[in-house]
Amino acid sequence: QPPRSCEDYWGEWKHCRGLRHAFHHYYAHGELPACGRWREDYEACRAWERHRAAAAQEALCKSERARVMERQKYAPVWTLRQRPPPDWYLPLDQEKTN
């Protein structure tokens, strides 16, 4: 059984090709999104479901591993606290002017 349903890959591909997503991606990254990977994953998923193709299974698993590793590549922006600050219960100084 594939890691996701094939409709998920199809939906991601359709979303990636959408005008709104393309505009946002171009604005944020300066280039159009590469949507070919989602289409290839969809085709591999279909081949895995229909014919139980080992090559399609390996390609899809490799793509999913790469996607997970890419997501984990970036460190979190905020450092997580172990306990709250000692003065968490005090009122905020909203009336002070800087």
Domain boundaries, the chain: 6-71
Q: How confident is the model at residue 2 (pLDDT cuts 50, 70, 90)?
A: confident
Across 41-45, 72-76, 87-91, which has the greatest mean pLDDT? Answer: 41-45
CA pair distance 10, 85, nearest whole angstrom: 46
Looking at the whole model, is its pTM more than 0.75?
A: no
CA 22 to centroid of chain Cα atoms = 15
Would the pLDDT of 42 be above 90? Answer: yes
Give 81-92 pLDDT, tens digit per residue. 899 989 888 888
